[in-house]
Amino acid sequence: MEKNEFVKLMSFKRIKRIGNQKAIDLFTNSQLVVTYERSNYEISKMFDYCKSKKIHIISYFDPEYPDKLKKINSPPLILFARGNLCLLKKKLITIVGSRGASEKTKIWAYNISKELSDLGYVIVSGGAQGIDTYAHRGALNSSGETICVLGSGIDNVYPEENIPLIENISRRGLVISEVPPTESVSRINLLQRNRITSALGDKVLIVSIGRKGGGSKSQFRDAYSQGKEIFAPDPSLELKPNEGLINLIKENKIIPIQSVEDMFNFQIKKEEKGLKRFL
Per-residue model confidence (pLDDT) at position 64: 96
- Smallest CA-to-CA distance from 173 within 84, 81, 56 is with 84
* Interval 24-34 mean pLDDT: 53
Do residues 247 and 160 make contact, with C-beta atoms less than 8 angstroms apart? no
Q: Is 2 helix (H, G, I), strand (E, B) or coil?
A: coil
State the chain's mean pLDDT as an integer: 90
Per-residue model confidence (pLDDT) at position 1: 79
Per-residue model confidence (pLDDT) at position 15: 63
Q: In whole angstroms, what separates CA 19 from the centre of its chain?
A: 19
**Residue 12's pLDDT band (cuts 50, 70, 90):** low
- Domain 86-272 fold: Rossmann fold (3.40.50)
- Smallest CA-to-CA distance from 69 within 195, 223, 206 is with 195
Q: Give 68-119 pLDDT, tens digit per residue.
A: 999 999 999 999 999 999 999 999 999 999 999 999 999 999 999 999 999 9
Cα–Cα distances (Å) from 203 to 155, 174, 183, in that order, read 29, 19, 30
Q: At what angle do helices 260-278 and 103-118 cross, to 10 degrees?
A: 60
Q: In whole angstroms, what separates CA 134 from the centre of its chain?
A: 15
Per-residue model confidence (pLDDT) at position 16: 54
Q: Give 208-254 pLDDT, tens digit per residue.
A: 998 887 889 999 999 999 999 999 999 999 999 999 999 999 999 99
Amino acid at 220: F
Task: Show me where the domains of the chain are located.
Answer: 3-82, 86-272
Per-residue model confidence (pLDDT) at position 94: 99
Angle at 259 between CA 207 and CA 272, to 5 degrees: 110
* Interval 189-209 mean pLDDT: 97
Q: Beta 56-59 vs 230-233: how paired, if at all? A: unpaired
Per-residue model confidence (pLDDT) at position 274: 55
Per-residue model confidence (pLDDT) at position 278: 46
